[in-house]
Structure 1
């Protein structure tokens, strides 16, 4: 059997490599890596096919066939061929990559969108395994996959960075295959090149690592709000009384963000160092021997806690959660998880309680795709403290889904609320029209017509 790994992120590649080391994907006569770049402007990014720090991870595969070699100038995310062209494309790829179409397993990241969705459809007889991509793995699917595809999703392979919590991506019947934290940590350490270039601030001083995410570029907040958030992250970091703050900004973030962090650190009397090197945040925390890592809702937070035992912190997530639109925004579960793991006095320290929160939010995000979770959502919301409810759910969403805790409907809202696919007023009109027609038929029958 040939196993095709269509991956686009270093995190996904590390997950696959760690799984291979543990024998989790099972036996395959050949493992084929099909890397692609999901960046909006691929020419400005270093993809996993070329990144030198990922060289040893790529060595786990027998062959590498970059998807861009097939697509040419077309962006992978826009590769959505017509259905009639799929059989032809299957034959072309079978010939180009030397495959047996009846003996394939396809491993994909981000299955809801191209090119992963295209590849799953293009090989109609292949078994499918979803490879987790950080905290997004814990979110339900954004769209319902066609049945011929969904029925072939057998497994979800994921780094177990939130131990005890089950991811929601994939079908409810898919087997969950967690990659052990220690195995994942070993693979991440491989990406720290043998040269181990010097890291500024790695001199034994008490340090907190602060990570930037550039949330304003995602439309999640304004630039001014992001600068304020970065300052609040420094306030959160100061609670560990470090001698130094090391700030790793998002590569695309403007200098104003770094300036805001530096000014806040100086105001606290804490030394400040900026790091713009290639080292992953998890490994940077290790090299710095950081007391803690602080960020918005970066995947690195639960990862450094689960893999390396570092303390983690965040700030401002209550505002982020309330501002996410629409409610099904794919960042909601990552933000919910990090908030629940880092907030003071969190009631979600037990994995069972955190799972219930994730299931309830997941259902509210995607009530059709995750319809099997409605009972879990009702269990969580029934009798929940209003402050907890309002932190993670909007009143409008609760009302739309008629979940416990929804605001009481007034007469007008009850009149227009859909029931059975139509509004109440329309339902009454149709009922009255039907009654009039029945009365007319009865009257004609009495008159002998």
Structure 2
């Protein structure tokens, strides 16, 4: 059991009587989202609560993954909190993605954590990401009487909740805080439980990203021991005067592509940028991607006559947007594509999105909605479409997302069946729509585009439960 990583309270000191807000976070992008919400006053005045930042490292092998605390800008984000906690150390030797208390042990665990974290008897509020899985679900179970708030830091917020929640957790969720990555599109996340979404202001988030970029400048000014001026990854990338940035996601780790297919995907991004006239390109690999990815790109860049710089430092892609302002950002379905367009007005383009979408399994895979959004909004670099800033959601996007969301989790959203039926009756055969659905799923649900007639789907009791939860929350 690990205590607070900040200096502990002196022996005999009375616990702070204020309410406690525990903010669970696993990525710097998520931490930046929380920082923006705090700065915008969405969690009340700082003096009214003791704020704890609970860090979890959810990689398959956390000990070998890039740690959030080492990323550029982390310390400035952490300064908004009274202290920092490490969830991995707390549940060691268990993995944070798999450990959860047994129901009968939850009260004991709460007593243990209140002692270890000096919470005393203060009321606790829990703010988490990805409430459907651990560690968020485990934290909500331990503090069983606490209110729960969810923040969503990416495109998955526009899709349905990936799995059913226990009633004891669902009824306590107050809101979903999210970024306005697709202006005009309303998130589906937790909507089946009557939870309302709330926007984190654009200005507040952009200010936090600027603060992180300033931290990178400060690191360069201080210089690493033995490093010369301009020797940081960002400085080297900026010195190359790039006009395009390629985003790696390491889709092989999600079993969406093989390692060889993902290498080829990055090569296609480079070829597309070169064909569009970009002669200096930066590649931002995923932090857990193997080194050989950039080696394959190096060989392709040499053949294409393109200057390639690999931005492999522990920083957000948004830091590079802030510092360099490229004229093009290319990716598959990364959230960073939309942040480039929405917050920096940088034209974006996609590569390989349709192919990944078509092979994605199972149909309810939570990556489906991010793929759908990017495929529908962002220009196809290989298809001859001009890279652009997508802007507000077109009228066609919301009906498509809701229809896909219904097909993913139809028992959770029975009220969307009629709308999905109308949409598919009109559009299911269109080239830009057909690949978002599989004949098998349409057949299973008896929707237009089905390959055979099917029996009506059974009426599930889960929808009645969710309506009851929504009424309880409103009451």
Answer whether TM exceeds 0.5 for this pair: yes
Structure 1 equivalent of residue 166 of structure 2 = 146
Q: What CA deviation, in whole Å up to 9, does each residue of 1:76-105 have, x standing for no partner? A: 112122111111112222333343667332
Contact 1:262 1:272 in 2 (8 A): yes
Structure 2 equivalent of residue 398 of structure 1 = 442
CA gap 1:165/1:115 in 2 versus in 1, 3 angstroms: same
- 1:288-299 → structure 2 map (5 Å cutoff): 288-299=324-335
TM-score normalized with structure 1 length: 0.85
* Residue 179 (str. 1) matches residue 200 (str. 2): yes
Structure 2 equivalent of residue 262 of structure 1 = 298
**Structure with larger Rg:** 1
Give the whole-Å Cα distance in 1 for the aligned partners of 2:316 and 2:27.
12
Give the whole-Å Cα distance in 2 for the aligned partners of 1:227 and 1:29.
47
Structure 2 equivalent of residue 322 of structure 1 = 358
Name stretches of at least 5 consecutive residues in structure 1 with no aligned partner: 422-449
Structure 1 equivalent of residue 411 of structure 2 = 368
* Residue 188 (str. 1) matches residue 206 (str. 2): no
SS of 2:426's equivalent?
Answer: coil
Contact 1:34 1:67 in 2 (8 A): yes
- Count the aligned residue pairs: 415
**Greater RCO (CA < 8 Å, at least 6 residues apart):** 2
Contact 1:87 1:122 in 2 (8 A): yes
Structure 2 equivalent of residue 439 of structure 1 = none
* Residue 282 (str. 1) matches residue 302 (str. 2): no
Contact 2:350 2:378 in 1 (8 A): yes
Instruction: Tell me whether 352-361 or 4-13 shows the greater mean CA deviation.
Output: 352-361
- C-alpha RMSD of the superposition: 2.5
Q: CA deviation at 1:394?
A: 0.5
* Residue 377 (str. 1) matches residue 413 (str. 2): no
Which of 56, 79, 98 pairs up with 1:78?
98
SS of 1:313's equivalent?
Answer: strand
Which of 29, 44, 52 pairs up with 1:26?
44
Name stretches of at least 5 consecutive residues in structure 2 with no aligned partner: 1-18, 221-231, 460-475
SS of 1:164's equivalent?
Answer: coil
- 1:290-369 → structure 2 map (5 Å cutoff): 290-344=326-380, 350-369=393-412
SS of 1:368's equivalent?
Answer: coil
CA gap 1:254/1:65 in 2 versus in 1, 3 angstroms: closer
CA gap 1:102/1:148 in 2 versus in 1, 3 angstroms: farther
SS of 2:376's equivalent?
Answer: helix
Q: CA deviation at 1:52?
A: 5.7
CA gap 1:338/1:94 in 2 versus in 1, 3 angstroms: same
Instruction: Tell me whether 312-321 or 157-166 shows the greater mean CA deviation.
Output: 157-166
Give the whole-Å Cα distance in 2 for the aligned partners of 1:311 and 1:400.
39
- 1:197-212 → structure 2 map (5 Å cutoff): 197=232, 199-203=235-239, 205=241, 207-212=243-248
Give the whole-Å Cα distance in 2 for the aligned partners of 1:343 and 1:402.
32
TM-score normalized with structure 2 length: 0.81
Give the whole-Å Cα distance in 1 for the aligned partners of 2:238 and 2:84.
36
Structure 1 equivalent of residue 82 of structure 2 = 62
Contact 1:137 1:169 in 2 (8 A): yes
* Residue 12 (str. 1) matches residue 30 (str. 2): yes
Contact 2:52 2:83 in 1 (8 A): yes
